[in-house]
């Protein structure tokens, strides 16, 4: 097995390099921990040929549009359709794809009314093949894992990464190893990893503990790490922005709001925005804002208390288990893109998350709790005047409603919070729709219908 990754093919046409986000050191290959050989910070992928032969923006838009009617597997993928802005492959048949991306952009008229903004959209990444945004990154990173000759891929996860990795590994004929915190991921996500054949280890620690161990593991065993420290993941996740802007006819919204956990996704979205502006695909940048749960607010504290200079880790606790992360790996990348796009970083309470999730559900769309922080955060950003009512806002919904059914059922049956907050309860009661148990008679059903009609 290779001890360092030949991530970059040894051909003159290779079109990308790894660059350290701290010292700027450039390299053609990366170690198994995807850290800079000089200073140990994270790496990002860059495309040096853009300096000399800048891709032509109108030609790109036309090519991407035309691929929508193609039946070739690379074009059917909502990620590889944008392949000019991704690490290049010599042969499209190397791609491991489940037709990821191609996710809908929905208007949210009811949530717009509730919050007071005129135009509110949701880019629903939960509509990906395994139900979360992770698939857009995984198709790229799993493809490069197989290309580099690895048999095993591995990740630490709060659930969605493991579900996605296990699926792409299975499709690509790779073995997968999953490290998850015992008892702290939803059954739905765990069941996916099991079904796709991953070797699944439930560790008696939290996500941060799992990630620490994974980092040690990849230095000691020939496994390829597929966490978002892996910069190929972030390249794939950029495509959500390309697709979004295409859906908006290349008119940037005023605000993009995204949940923050390990902070890979916000970093990828920010990178995409900056690259699109550099290439002339958009004329100006939307403000990118990151929302965290109050109980897992490392970036919020890092920006407020340390001016973004050094990470303040926190012991993470939230029922939005996807973002139950206290020591986010990509905090520096995220803080850089927030600064570059003049975005904000906010935190929201458990009650605010629950209410926002039910409000999104009432639109007939639904999402998992971690995604709902975006709507809860928007309310705060409006109150603060950071978002103006007449501005256009896009919320990035990262996971499908079906990812965490326990949370939804607990909410509707009034059992979500151990210590009930009466004020929040009153506001939320109108959103609750607990199941009704009835005798199996027509009369009972008609009575219940009549009751439901009463104000």
- Is residue 159 involved in binding ligand F0G (CB under 6 A)? yes
Q: Give the Cα separation of 270 and 178 in Å (integer).
A: 28
Measured CA distances, 60 to 87, 95, 124, 224 (Å)? 16, 21, 24, 32
Least separation in angstroms between residue 138's CB and ligand F0G is 11
- Is residue 225 involved in binding ligand F0G (CB under 6 A)? no
DSSP 53: S
Among 101, 252, 253, 261, binds ligand F0G (CB under 6 A): 261
Q: Give the Cα separation of 403 and 328 in Å (integer).
A: 22
Question: What DSSP string describes 433-445?
Answer: -------S-HHHH
Q: If you count DSSP H runs as helices and E runs as strands, how many of each does the chain have, helices first?
A: 18, 13
Among 32, 128, 130, 161, binds ligand F0G (CB under 6 A): 161
Among 323, 353, 375, 394, binds ligand F0G (CB under 6 A): 323
Among 263, 272, 285, 394, binds ligand F0G (CB under 6 A): 263
Give the residues across from 399 on adjacent strands.
132
Least separation in angstroms between residue 321's CB and ligand F0G is 9
- Is residue 302 involved in binding ligand F0G (CB under 6 A)? no
- Is residue 259 involved in binding ligand F0G (CB under 6 A)? yes
Measured CA distances, 247 to 103, 194, 240 (Å)? 10, 35, 10
- Binding residue count for ligand F0G, defined by CB under 6 A: 22
Tokens standing for residue 99: 């037709």
Least separation in angstroms between residue 262's CB and ligand F0G is 3
Kindly tell me which of 263 and 353 has the beta carbon lying closer to ligand F0G.
Answer: 263
- Is residue 265 involved in binding ligand F0G (CB under 6 A)? yes
Length of the chain equals 455
CA 329, 159, 83, 397 torsion-angle sign: negative
Q: Give the Cα separation of 327 and 299 in Å (integer).
A: 9
Tokens standing for residue 351: 């009650």
Beta strands in 248-375 (DSSP E): 255-259, 287-293, 345-348
The pattern of x and - marking residues 77 through 116 that bind ligand F0G according to CB under 6 A reads ----------------------------------------
Least separation in angstroms between residue 358's CB and ligand F0G is 17
- Is residue 375 involved in binding ligand F0G (CB under 6 A)? no
Binding segment (CB under 6 A) for ligand F0G, from list 27-35, 254-262, 357-365, 446-454: 254-262
Binding site for ligand F0G (CB under 6 A): 132, 157-161, 228, 259-266, 322-323, 368, 370-371, 398-399
């Amino acid at each position: 097995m290779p001890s360092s990754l030949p991530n970059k093919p040894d051909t003159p046409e290779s079109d990308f390099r790894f660059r350290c986000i701290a010292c700027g050191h450039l390299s053609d290959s990366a170690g198994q921990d995807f850290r800079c050989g000089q200073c140990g910070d994270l790496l990002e992928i860059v495309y040096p040929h853009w300096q000399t032969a800048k891709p032509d923006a109108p030609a790109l838009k036309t090519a991407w549009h035309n691929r929508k009617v193609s039946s070739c597997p690379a074009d059917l993928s909502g990620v590889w359709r944008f392949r000019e802005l991704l690490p290049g492959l010599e042969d499209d048949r190397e791609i491991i794809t489940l037709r990821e991306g191609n996710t809908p952009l929905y208007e949210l008229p009811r949530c717009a009314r509730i919050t007071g903004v005129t135009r509110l959209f949701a880019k629903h990444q939960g509509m990906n093949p395994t139900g979360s945004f992770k698939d857009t990154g995984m198709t790229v990173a799993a493809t490069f894992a197989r290309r580099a000759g690895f048999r095993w891929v591995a990740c630490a996860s709060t659930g969605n990464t493991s579900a996605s990795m296990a699926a792409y590994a299975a499709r690509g004929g790779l073995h997968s190893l999953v490290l998850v915190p015992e008892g702290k991921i939803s059954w739905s996500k765990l069941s996916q990893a099991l079904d796709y054949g991953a070797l699944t280890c439930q560790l008696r620690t939290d996500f941060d503990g799992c990630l620490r161990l994974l980092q040690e593991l990849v230095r000691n065993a020939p496994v390829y790490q597929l966490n978002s420290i892996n910069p190929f993941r972030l390249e794939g996740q950029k495509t959500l922005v390309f697709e979004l802007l295409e859906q908006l006819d290349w008119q940037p919204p005023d605000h993009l709001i995204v949940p923050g956990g390990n902070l890979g996704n916000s970093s990828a979205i920010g990178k995409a925005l900056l690259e699109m502006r550099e290439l002339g695909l958009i004329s100006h940048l939307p403000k990118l804002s990151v929302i965290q749960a109050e109980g897992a607010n490392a970036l919020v504290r890092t920006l407020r208390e340390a001016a973004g200079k050094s990470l303040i880790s926190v012991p993470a606790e939230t029922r939005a288990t996807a973002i139950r992360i206290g020591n986010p790996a990509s905090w520096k990348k995220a803080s850089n893109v927030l600064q570059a796009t003049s975005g904000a970083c906010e935190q929201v309470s458990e009650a605010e998350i629950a209410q926002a999730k039910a409000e999104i559900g009432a639109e007939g769309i639904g999402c998992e709790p971690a995604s709902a922080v975006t709507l809860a955060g928007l309310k705060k950003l409006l109150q603060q005047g950071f978002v103006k009512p007449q501005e256009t806002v896009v919320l990035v919904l990262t996971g499908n409603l079906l990812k965490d059914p326990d949370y939804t059922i607990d909410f509707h049956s009034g059992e979500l919070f151990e210590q009930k907050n009466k004020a929040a309860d009153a506001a939320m009661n109108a959103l609750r729709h607990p199941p009704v148990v009835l005798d199996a008679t027509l009369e009972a059903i008609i009575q219940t219908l009549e009751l439901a009609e009463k104000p």
